[in-house]
Amino acid sequence: MKAALPTSTRFVSWLALGLVLVVAAGTCLAEAAGDTAGEASAPVLGYLPEGTETAPDLPTYRLPGPKPEGDIPDPETLEEMGAVVGSIKILRGDIFDLENPKENYKLYRLANRLHRKTRSHVVEEYLLFKPGDRYSRYAIEETERILRAQRYLFDAEVRPIRFHDNQVDLVVLTRDVWTLTASASFGRSGGENDTRFELQDSNFLGTGKEVLIERLSDVDRTSSRFGYRDPNVLGSRARLEAIYSDNSDGTFQKLEIERPFFSLETHWSAGGEYVADDRVDSFYRLGKVNGKFRHSETFFEIRGGVSRGLKNGFSRRWLEGFTFERDRFEATSAPLPPGIELADRTLAYPWIGYQRLENRFLKTQDLNRIGRTEDLNIGQRFEVRLGWSSPVFGGDENLAILGARYGTGFEPGEGRLFLFDSYVSGRFGGDGAENTLVGASARLHWRDWGRHTFYAYLGFDLAENLDPERQLLLGGDTGLRGYPLRYQSGDRRALLTLEQRFFTPWHPFRLAYIGAAVFFDIGQVWSSEGDKSDDLGALSNLGLGLRISPSRSGLGSVLHLDVAFPLAGDPSIDKVQFLVMTRDSF
């Protein structure tokens, strides 16, 4: 059956505007793609217009360290000459740079003394090169990206400092952040509060290992959570993660150990994962709980993959594995909504998969964080997985299992960045498609005033024959910031966000950067069939807020303080929504 299209003229108008933005950017992208087709996949340094100042009082984008001695050829020439890596020196920076008068204070000196600096061998474990290896730009740049991805490091750089006898000596520079937190925090979104009491160290005693003890209370449950993560077990490339959570409505357990594809040149991976989650889930209607049920979920997977490494700018990986998924349901004292029937389900299937990743990285600043070097792969990223669940393997029935993703990005012009992502997933059997989801999103970042950015997001999701316990939702916690959380539900969803972002060099107490945003959201979830009595049409809101991006903390998130004003919908909802939350991006 065809989906019923929303009839709101305003909704259609704003979607049309979003499509115009996407098409306009896409036109530029096609030209850009034509200009660069066939070129080597080299990292890009850009996105900020040339000459833009970025917090000039801080050594944020180039770590302090030794200066090169004598003449050193550029990286391209070193590769052509067949130069080899000579000595490697690791210099680990403190949280505060005491050589900078603005940071040389008693409290900051004390913080440096109390902090256990990341150990040298921890940094060494991430290096993709060693003395005697051929000099490789890729290995240098990928190592920097891997190090910068660690939450306990603010920045990392690999710098050539000496060239002699066809050998290039390197220095690896890093800067630590404070990782031990004993905190109490409060958040609010969609009219609901959550509280968190936490003791966490993401770089325990400088070893790079993470320990977590947490007490969390939100709209769904109250949890006591314990976690441990080791990204380099016994100095190897294997990683381990263990989580146990004692919840007010059940328990959560997770154990994962894996030797991943840790770089684009990695030739194999192998691992396994086990998850047991016993909880009470809720159905929502106009932001209110409309029924509850107990949901016991068991997930187990073993997987592996092989690759020839990075060839002609792409890393291609063949994957295989076996997955077991079991869902069990029980009634609670809160009745289910009319027409909802939950049936136990077991899937057990071997699968094969394929990944194709392009090595085309953008190195930039002030994109998702303030004042930090960011790495973003804007190359093509494609992944597909196909499995077959059958009673032979322990499943309920014969079903094909499909999952696929595709993403890419372009720089259509100076100071402009366009990102596209899409996905499809579902099960297919004798009764047709089950639990099928298809979605796509486009994001545009446009530097309009120096380092400030105009941001646009347009996303669509379509569901077909969803499992009864699942809902497509939209509300204050999913992008429509002026409304209660989980406010609209259905099987079709669209969202457009327009936002002006302000990145400032204001760095109070040398602890956090401050930014701001003014935003407009419009979206709708609707049903293609069935009950449409709750269809309120397109909902929209205006808002503004502050962004606080810590520069000395390993939390790796941005604090959002927003005020949003709903422009449509049920007149009984609050006319002002206050949101306090942490997110991974601006």
SS3 content of the chain, % helix, strand, coil (to 5): 10, 50, 35
Question: 28: exposed, middle or buried (C-beta count within 10 Å: 0-12, 13-18, 19+)?
Answer: middle
Q: Which of 487, 538, 436, 533 shows the shortest CA–CA distance to 11?
A: 538
8 A C-beta contact, residue 291 and residue 282: yes
Q: Which amino acid is at 174?
A: T
Within 31-179, strands assigned E span 44-45, 84-93, 153-164, 167-176
- With a cut of 80, say whether residue 131 has pLDDT above it: yes
Q: How far is CA 476 from CA 16, 480, 526, 568, in A?
A: 23, 5, 17, 14
Query: What are the tens digits of pLDDT across the range 182-226?
Result: 766 555 555 555 677 778 999 999 999 999 998 888 777 888 999
Confidence class of residue 441 from pLDDT cuts 50, 70 and 90? very high
Q: Which of 284, 291, 278, 398 shows the shortest CA–CA distance to 327?
A: 278
Distance CA 111, CA 550 (A): 15
Confidence class of residue 530 from pLDDT cuts 50, 70 and 90? low
**pLDDT value, residue 263:** 96
8 A C-beta contact, residue 514 and residue 506: yes
- With a cut of 90, say whether residue 316 has pLDDT above it: yes
Question: 354: exposed, middle or buried (C-beta count within 10 Å: 0-12, 13-18, 19+)?
Answer: middle
Q: What domains does the chain contain, in order, with CATH numbers?
A: 9-25+260-583 (2.40.160), 75-176 (3.10.20.310)
Confidence class of residue 430 from pLDDT cuts 50, 70 and 90? confident
Q: Across the strands, what pairs with 211?
A: 201, 228
Q: Which of 49, 53, 44 shows the shortest CA–CA distance to 371?
A: 53
Rounded to two decimals, the pTM is 0.85
**How crowded is residue 234: how many other Cβ atoms within 10 Å of its Cβ?**
7
The pLDDT of 152-156, averaged and rounded, is 94
For residue 348, give the 3-state DSSP assignment.
strand
More confident residue, 250 or 418: 418
Return the structure tokens found at 22.
Answer: 């996407």
8 A C-beta contact, residue 583 and residue 558: yes
Q: What is the DSSP letter of 484?
A: -
Question: How many residues belong to the chain?
Answer: 586
- With a cut of 80, say whether residue 584 has pLDDT above it: yes
The pLDDT of 348-364, averaged and rounded, is 97
Confidence class of residue 103 from pLDDT cuts 50, 70 and 90? very high
Return the structure tokens found at 581.
Answer: 């939350």
What is the rounded average pLDDT for all residues in the chain? 86
- With a cut of 70, say whether residue 129 has pLDDT above it: yes
- With a cut of 80, say whether residue 59 has pLDDT above it: no
Query: What are the tens digits of pLDDT across the range 495-512?
Result: 999 999 999 999 999 999
DSSP string, 486-539: T-EEESEEEEEEEEEEEE----GGGTEEEEEEEEEEEEEEE-SSS--TT----E
| Residue whose entry in the numeric block shows the structure tokens 């089950």 | 434
Torsional sign, CA 175, 179, 183, 187: positive
Question: 156: exposed, middle or buried (C-beta count within 10 Å: 0-12, 13-18, 19+)?
Answer: buried
The pLDDT of 114-133, averaged and rounded, is 96
- With a cut of 70, say whether residue 49 has pLDDT above it: no
| Residue whose entry in the numeric block shows the structure tokens 């933005």 | 21
Of 244-253, 318-327, 379-388, 549-558, the poorest mean pLDDT is in 549-558
Confidence class of residue 533 from pLDDT cuts 50, 70 and 90? low
Confidence class of residue 35 from pLDDT cuts 50, 70 and 90? very low
**How crowded is residue 308: how many other Cβ atoms within 10 Å of its Cβ?**
11
**pLDDT value, residue 216:** 84
**pLDDT value, residue 62:** 63
**pLDDT value, residue 413:** 87
Return the structure tokens found at 381.
Answer: 């990223």
- With a cut of 60, say whether residue 236 has pLDDT above it: yes
More confident residue, 493 or 30: 493
Distance CA 287, CA 475 (A): 8
The pLDDT of 279-302, averaged and rounded, is 90
For residue 443, give the 3-state DSSP assignment.
strand
The pLDDT of 167-176, averaged and rounded, is 96
Backbone angles phi, psi at 33, to 5 degrees: -65, -40
In Å, how far from its chain's centre is CA 174? 23
Q: Which of 411, 365, 379, 450 shows the shortest CA–CA distance to 25?
A: 411
8 A C-beta contact, residue 353 and residue 385: yes
| Residue percentage of the chain with pLDDT more than 70 | 86
